Amino acid sequence: MMTVTFEVKVTAPQTRDSGKVRMGSMSPSFPAVRTTPAQTADDGKVRMGSMSPAFPAARTTPAQTADSGKVRLGSMAPVL
């Protein structure tokens, strides 16, 4: 019969974070944490990566929205 002995170690109740990050054998260097600026006003600019698209001005809904009663499905106009 074979006897196996295990040693059980209890972890310390306090764990301290050294602030170091390791990913496998690499130790990435992250920039310092920046706080959010107090003023977060929207300047209206839109950027998608390195592109800055030009969108047309927003149009308001026309005041008169009367229904002409015509129905079209693509190029077909069914008879109702």
pLDDT in 10s for each residue of the chain, 80 residues: 788 898 888 877 777 777 777 777 777 777 777 787 777 777 777 777 777 777 777 777 777 777 777 777 777 777 76
Return d(Cα 21, Cα 31) in angstroms, integer.
12
Amino acid at 53: P
Half-sphere exposure in the Cβ direction for 60 (13 Å, CA): 3
Return d(Cα 34, Cα 5) in angstroms, integer.
51
Return d(Cα 60, Cα 44) in angstroms, integer.
18
pTM of the model: 0.17
| Chain position carrying tokens 């149009």 | 59
Burial class of residue 78 (count of CB atoms within 10 Å of its CB; 0-12, 13-18, 19+): exposed
